[in-house]
Amino acid sequence: VLKYVLTANAPETKDNDFTWKDFQTRNNNELVAILGNFVNRALVLTNKYYNGVIPERGNLTDYDNETLAEISSIKASVEKSLDSFRIREALKYAMDLARLGNKYLADEEPWKVVKTDEERVKTIMNICLQITANLTIMLEPFLPFSMEKLRGFLNSEKLDWDKLGNTEMLVTGHQVNKPELLFEKIEDKVVEAQLQKLMDTKKANEIADAKATPAKKSIEFDDFGKMDIRIGTVLEVEKVAKTKKLLKLKVDTGIDQRTVVSGIAEYYKPEDLLGKQVSILVNLEPKNLRGIESQGMILCAENTDGSLSIVSPDQNVKPGSEVK
């Protein structure tokens, strides 16, 4: 399917972009709804009416003759495009054969005709199966694995390109197999999962390639000594109402129990923080955040993607222990 979509979008006179949405659309609207729908109905009806045995063709109508003649006409169009290296155009013409079969089957309605003219249905189904056999040759360059699968349904061998256009490729009495779905419909959730996978990969690559920010201007050692950083244990946690990023924490600093508001709600669930030890700047001037007095700052490392990770000791220590 991927090869089909890439070919259908292949640049000929200008560049084109691949999107998963287009992949889904072409799979569902072309491979499933046109090609898959036609060959499945042709084979299912043959198994239903004739136990999988190809029926004999009777007298042909003008529409029958026009339909069969169109196979060679489509072949000529495909060959002309391939000779000019217009691959995308060639695929479009090749799919016209599936469209031809789909239209013929829909127009003739053998499921209705069988009630009044069983002999006519034999001819209709024979023609549909000849179109199907020709499809295995015409679409082989574009959908090799799918055409191998379709040949399995038809119980037929792989044929060379020069056989294309033969309207008696499958002889009367030939036994075909019961079909399975040639293509599966791609649901929105599958596309969404692929898009998320791409985003995750892109994000991981950005993190891997990111460089650390340059060191800030040097400060005096005494300036660093003014910061009082302690290890505290989280006692209580709750989300701050009407905010996405803020959590309200009660922390045992060893000095006291104090309230701290921290913007880590997107990265930590409240229940995951209970009992966790954190590094907290305890001598920071209190600040009012959303009506809550925050009495300190919980220290976090900021990753290149902006996510935050709490700085914690690698083993439990007594609350109030100084970070030096």
2-189 folds as Isoleucyl-tRNA Synthetase; Domain 1 (1.10.730)
Classify residue 47 by burial, with Cβ atoms within 10 Å: 0-12, 13-18, 19+: middle
- Residue 18 and residue 122: Cα distance in Å, rounded? 43
What H or E segment, with its residue span, contains residue 257?
strand 257-262
pLDDT of residue 44: 96
Residue 281 has what DSSP assignment?
A: E
Which CATH architecture is the domain 221-310 placed in?
Beta Barrel (2.40)
- Residue 67 and residue 222: Cα distance in Å, rounded? 92
Asked whether 279 and 251 are in contact (CB, 8 A), the reply is no
Classify residue 166 by burial, with Cβ atoms within 10 Å: 0-12, 13-18, 19+: middle
Per-residue pLDDT for the chain (324 aa), expressed as one digit of tens each? 667 766 766 665 555 666 777 778 888 888 999 999 999 999 999 999 999 999 999 999 999 999 999 999 999 999 999 998 888 899 999 999 999 999 999 999 999 999 999 999 999 999 999 999 999 999 999 999 999 999 999 999 999 999 999 999 999 999 999 999 988 888 878 777 777 787 778 777 777 777 777 888 888 888 888 899 999 999 999 999 999 999 999 999 999 999 999 999 999 999 999 999 999 999 999 999 999 999 999 999 998 888 999 999 999 999 999 998
Q: Which residues contact 173 (CB under 8 A, 6 or more apart)?
A: 53, 54
- Residue 287 and residue 48: Cα distance in Å, rounded? 78
pLDDT of residue 177: 96
| Alpha-carbon dihedral angle through residues 121, 124, 128, 130, given to the nearest 10 degrees | 110
The two tokens of residue 3 are 């090869």
The CATH 2.40.50.140 domain(s) of the chain lie at 221-310
The CATH 1.10.730.10 domain(s) of the chain lie at 2-189
- Residue 67 and residue 38: Cα distance in Å, rounded? 15
Phi, psi angle pair for 289, to nearest 5°: -125, 115
Please state, as a whole number, how many other Cβ atoms lie within 10 Å of the Cβ of residue 25. 14
Asked whether 186 and 23 are in contact (CB, 8 A), the reply is yes
Query: What is the model's pTM?
Result: 0.62
For 52-64, b/e burial (b = at least 16 CB within 10 A) is bebbebeeeeeeb
The two tokens of residue 83 are 């000779």
Asked whether 235 and 273 are in contact (CB, 8 A), the reply is no
- Residue 217 and residue 219: Cα distance in Å, rounded? 7
Asked whether 89 and 81 are in contact (CB, 8 A), the reply is yes
pLDDT of residue 284: 92
| Residue located via tokens 């791609």 | 186
